[in-house]
A and B are shown apart, each in its own frame.
Chain A
């Protein structure tokens, strides 16, 4: 398994570098999983390349999640798990979002399945997704104040 993951990862990195060298800012290898760090501005374009390049063919977005590195800045790290069903390969794209201006392009135009995942991140982290068709709270009630999964939100809640 690990060799396969790495072989796939090097294909993805090579294809992305050939397409636009600045799209791969950094490559992180950890426990056989490869993370490609993408510049904030290039996320949508790089994700589109991953989906539409016939040799990459990442046709499903498995998951989107966020890690809050508070008090570091940029504090948010967005992680997208891409899956190519025909090639049976996975890759993770990562980009960072600043705390002052938590805005990023939505991936919903590429994978409609991103809709609820991004709504969840908007709900729990307060990150705004530009180009999202229906950006509302999903789990919490509309009148809830704050973003509970941020590290500076107390575990026991605000009273």
Chain B
């Protein structure tokens, strides 16, 4: 029997459609069908100036908009060979790590809901709300922040941000203990996840899987450690790994990652000074300060030029990989020396990781397919772009 799962199925986390060929309750083959959310973001980027495209990146992986901003800005900055002030780099790290926690919280909540544990979802969204409030104070926006800009940040951190973030990082560890108390030793949770969706590390590597899925198979690959960006080399944190490579191991890795991210946020808070630049000095690329614009002719001209014609990086190609909550998020930009990119390509970890699904669920039960889709942690906005 062929069963059509999705695109409106609640446990496909968006608009994923999977065609399941069944033998009784066992899956013979699973064929994912994508594209229901394809909006042609890569094509749209080619028609915009480099700065205009930032707002499009927010809308790809909507649980990780700051991470998308970061990877795009890092790639453009690499094209321009632009140095970013340390203070801006640390703020970027802090924001991206908060984003990682919020993304993992949504994952944990929705996955627990899929497995039938309703209360965990409510707890997770309660804490995520606190993170979104922090983002709102920083960027004026809860989700589509566009806070990270080419050359630095959009805004100075708000007054009183330290207390705000500190309250959150102090509140969070006991809350994570709470989730673990509800889930880790829960017999139903273990029964639904242990031994489900197993794939050996070699297969995952060959299928280009990255992120928590690969780390749960014992491969400690994390771009923050392996290819540090935005001063990650100055932070101390561990890369949690497991060896079981099943859904339960992926859950444990993600929970541990939240704790590690909290460590990084704390270190970043210590490193961020109260005074200092949040943008690099790059006339013609980074918009000048309002004050200067009103008093200096040159600054006014640069401001006008940035917003009318943009800036032109030298011709060439760069590929910048970062570690998103889901794995390796890469941005490839080809410049032809004009103010608009010749090509922008995003290597979405959701898209690539989803490839392993048919192998993961082969021969398993339909209910296990739900668990496997959940622990791959896909965001359809990023899969379809």
Contact of A141 with B35 in the complex, beta carbons under 8 Å: yes
Contact of A85 with B205 in the complex, beta carbons under 8 Å: yes
Does A39 touch B at the CB level, under 8 Å? no
Identify the interface centre among A65, A90, A111, A115: most chain B CB within 10 Å of its CB: A65
Does A22 touch B at the CB level, under 8 Å? no
A window 16-30: CB within 8 A of B = 30
Which chain A positions have C-beta within 8 A of B34?
Answer: 138-139
Which chain A positions have C-beta within 8 A of B316?
Answer: 30-31
Instruction: Compute how far the CA of A132 lies from the CA of B335 in the bound complex, rounded to whole angstroms.
Output: 30
Identify the interface centre among A60, A88, A120, A151: most chain B CB within 10 Å of its CB: A60
Which of B208, B319, B385 interacts with A111 by CB under 8 Å? B208
Does A103 touch B at the CB level, under 8 Å? no
Which chain A positions have C-beta within 8 A of B96?
Answer: none
Contact of A62 with B228 in the complex, beta carbons under 8 Å: no
Min distance, Cβ B25 to any Cβ of chain A, angstroms: 26
Q: Which residue of B lies closest to A114 (CB)?
A: B208
Contact of B330 with A63 in the complex, beta carbons under 8 Å: yes
Stretch at the interface among B56-64, B219-227, B244-252, B285-293: B219-227
Min distance, Cβ B58 to any Cβ of chain A, angstroms: 20
A window 98-123: CB within 8 A of B = 111-117, 120
Instruction: Compute how far the CA of A32 lies from the CA of B43 in the bound complex, rounded to whole angstroms.
Output: 27
Q: When each residue 206-226 of chain B gets 1 if its CB lies under 8 Å from chain A and 0 otherwise, what string results?
A: 111100000000010100001
Which of A30, A66, A155 interacts with B318 by CB under 8 Å? A30
Do A149 and B319 form a contact, CB below 8 Å, given A63-B347, A138-B35? no
Does A1 touch B at the CB level, under 8 Å? yes
Contact of B219 with A85 in the complex, beta carbons under 8 Å: yes
Instruction: Compute how far the CA of A31 lies from the CA of B334 in the bound complex, rounded to whole angstroms.
Output: 13
Instruction: Compute how far the CA of A115 lies from the CA of B318 in the bound complex, rounded to whole angstroms.
Output: 23
Q: Total number of A-B contacts with CB less than 8 angstroms?
A: 100
Contact of A116 with B81 in the complex, beta carbons under 8 Å: no
Count of chain B residues with Cβ under 8 Å from any Cβ of A? 41
Which chain A positions have C-beta within 8 A of B38?
Answer: 139-140
Which chain A positions have C-beta within 8 A of B226?
Answer: 88
Do A85 and B221 form a contact, CB below 8 Å, given A139-B38, A155-B43? yes
Does B79 touch A at the CB level, under 8 Å? yes
Instruction: Compute how far the CA of A77 lies from the CA of B385 in the bound complex, rounded to whole angstroms.
Output: 21
Which of B43, B209, B328 interacts with A148 by CB under 8 Å? B43
Does A96 touch B at the CB level, under 8 Å? no
Contact of B205 with A60 in the complex, beta carbons under 8 Å: yes
Q: When each residue 309-347 of chain B gets 1 if its CB lies under 8 Å from chain A and 0 otherwise, what string results?
A: 000000011110100000010101010000000110101
Which chain A positions have C-beta within 8 A of B43?
Answer: 148-149, 153, 155
Instruction: Compute how far the CA of A151 lies from the CA of B343 in the bound complex, rounded to whole angstroms.
Output: 9
Identify the interface centre among A30, A59, A114: most chain B CB within 10 Å of its CB: A30
Does B24 touch A at the CB level, under 8 Å? no
Which chain A positions have C-beta within 8 A of B319?
Answer: 33, 63, 79, 81, 90, 92
Contact of B317 with A79 in the complex, beta carbons under 8 Å: yes
Min distance, Cβ A155 to any Cβ of chain B, angstroms: 5
Does B78 touch A at the CB level, under 8 Å? yes
Does A95 touch B at the CB level, under 8 Å? no
Identify the interface centre among B205, B207, B317, B384: most chain A CB within 10 Å of its CB: B317
Which of B227, B317, B355 interacts with A88 by CB under 8 Å? B227
Contact of B40 with A113 in the complex, beta carbons under 8 Å: no
Contact of B227 with A90 in the complex, beta carbons under 8 Å: yes
Which of B46, B78, B79 interacts with A155 by CB under 8 Å? B46
What are 6 A-B contacts defined by CB distance under 8 Å? Answer: A61-B208, A63-B330, A65-B347, A81-B347, A120-B351, A151-B46
- Beyond A63-B345, A117-B352, 6 additional contacts (C-beta under 8 Å) are A30-B317, A31-B79, A61-B208, A120-B351, A124-B42, A153-B43
Pairs of residues from A and B, 4 with the lowest C-beta to C-beta distance, nearest first: A113-B208, A139-B35, A63-B347, A30-B316
